[in-house]
């Protein structure tokens, strides 16, 4: 097992990464304030991992009750969030009751937001079951829900007690979901870690075949990159915004297509290509660097061509992004592989070209 520590003073916590961690109940027990937990999961994950977790907790004298939500990004909303509150209130949960998020990014985001707001704050633990949630959404304390007018527009920064990333859950993860997670892994190499990008290029075949040692290394390096950024800028007032490479384009794609039609990682992958294209048009990214980015995303079985959306559609949706400042759309762009910047100082004509280019694949 590998352990990474997020250093945030009294909000610090560990990330445990390895195989068979779901059966290591002592990892959970050591972070509980009382032996009573609520497990929030969904209809897809529950049949796979809920009963073994409940059994393990019971063996350690920990009482637990499940809250099973419908599965899908389309349910990441206030109505579904209320189902969590309803269950917590019905069970008369107190401030020492810990919520456990057992599932992917949607479950993690909603459970974290419920924990941040129920009784004005109760502890929670992240047990992410997808690659995307293990390297991204479960780390750093971003929680929240979607609004019909924008993705993740309602939420809070709220740190977990710990994150338990068990790579054994990938054995039941569909290929498409795994690839979606690889988009966020590749992102870390692009924004700040050229050596990691090089490593990914050399090991992408083994990663796609779920080689355990490679997976643990990729998750560890991804989480460490995110930890370094979060420790510098917990509330995204500066450098943390670079973690949103491809996301402004990607969120527009998710919103326009309908949440869940494109997976988050798929939309981010296409968005990263669009950001790289704009960076190339600005003269910041060389042709061979752009080609390396496209090649690696393709090898990870990710889409590189955006959907057929109009320029006006993109601009309308991008203007509602959280990174808009004084009415200007700020974008994360590339100065090279491993070198990114946050800027609204780009040529608007180049942005239009990027938005109107529908095909990057050969």
Q: Which segment of 115-129, 135-149, 195-209 scores lowest on mean pLDDT?
A: 135-149
Q: What is the pLDDT of residue 238?
A: 83
Q: Where are the domains of the chain?
A: 2-172, 180-356
Clarify whether 247 is annotated catalytic.
Answer: yes
CATH 1.20.120.420 for the 180-356 domain, yes or no = no
Clarify whether 251 is annotated catalytic.
Answer: yes
Q: Are 300 and 180 in contact (CB under 8 A)?
A: no
What's the pLDDT tens digit per position in 1-41? 999 999 888 899 999 999 999 999 999 999 999 999 999 99
**Token match 């949630």: residue?**
133
Q: Which segment of 18-22, 28-32, 211-215, 355-359 scores lowest on mean pLDDT?
A: 355-359
Q: Are 214 and 203 in contact (CB under 8 A)?
A: yes
Q: What is the pLDDT of residue 283?
A: 96
User: Please, what is the average pLDDT of the chain?
Assistant: 94
CATH number for 2-172 (one of 3.40.50.1970, 3.30.565.10, 3.90.920.10, 3.30.930.10): it is 3.40.50.1970
Clarify whether 240 is annotated catalytic.
Answer: yes
Q: Which of 220, 264, 280, 330 does the annotation list as catalytic?
A: 264
H runs (alpha helix) in 97-246 = 105-117, 131-132, 175-192, 194-208, 212-232
Q: What is the pLDDT of residue 10?
A: 87
Q: Are 296 and 218 in contact (CB under 8 A)?
A: no
Q: Which of 73, 177, 236, 266 does the annotation list as catalytic?
A: 236
Domain 2-172 and domain 180-356 have a common topology = no
Q: Which of 26, 120, 171, 359 does the annotation list as catalytic?
A: 120
Q: Is residue 323's pLDDT more than 70?
A: no
- Give the residue, 198 or 236, on which the prediction is more confident: 198
Banded pLDDT at 237 (limits 50, 70, 90): confident
């Amino acid at each position: 097992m590998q352990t990474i520590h997020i250093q945030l003073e009294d909000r610090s916590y560990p990330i445990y990464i390895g195989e068979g961690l779901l059966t290591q109940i002592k990892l959970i027990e050591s972070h509980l304030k009382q032996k009573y937990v609520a497990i929030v999961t969904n209809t897809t994950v529950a049949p796979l991992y809920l009963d073994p977790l409940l059994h393990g907790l019971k063996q350690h004298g920990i009482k637990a009750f499940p809250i099973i939500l419908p599965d899908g990004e389309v349910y990441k909303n206030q109505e579904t969030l209320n189902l969590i509150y309803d269950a917590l209130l019905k069970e008369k949960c107190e401030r020492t009751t810990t919520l456990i998020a057992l599932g992917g990014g949607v479950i993690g985001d909603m459970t974290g937001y419920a924990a941040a707001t129920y009784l004005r704050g109760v502890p929670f633990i992240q047990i992410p079951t997808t690659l995307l949630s293990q390297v991204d959404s479960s780390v750093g304390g971003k929680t929240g829900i979607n609004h019909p007018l924008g993705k993740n527009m309602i939420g809070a920064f709220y740190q977990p007690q710990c994150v338990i990333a068990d790579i054994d859950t990938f054995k039941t993860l569909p290929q498409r979901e795994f690839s979606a997670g690889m988009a966020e892994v590749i992102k870390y190499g692009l924004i700040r870690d050229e050596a990691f990008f090089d490593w990914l290029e050399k090991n992408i075949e083994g990663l796609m075949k779920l080689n355990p040692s490679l997976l643990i290394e990729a998750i560890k390096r991804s989480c460490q990159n995110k930890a370094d950024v979060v420790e510098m800028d917990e509330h995204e007032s500066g450098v943390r915004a670079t973690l949103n490479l491809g996301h402004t384009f990607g969120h527009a794609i998710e919103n326009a297509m309908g949440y869940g039609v494109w997976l988050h990682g798929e939309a981010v992958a296409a968005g990263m290509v669009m950001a790289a294209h704009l960076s190339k048009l600005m003269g910041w990214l060389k042709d061979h660097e752009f080609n390396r980015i496209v090649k690696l995303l393709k090898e990870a079985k990710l889409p590189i061509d955006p959907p057929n959306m109009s320029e006006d559609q993109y601009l309308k949706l991008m203007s509602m992004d959280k990174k808009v400042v004084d009415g200007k759309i700020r974008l994360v762009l590339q100065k090279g592989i491993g070198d990114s910047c946050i800027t609204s100082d780009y040529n608007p004509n180049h942005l239009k070209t990027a938005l109107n280019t529908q095909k990057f694949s050969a």
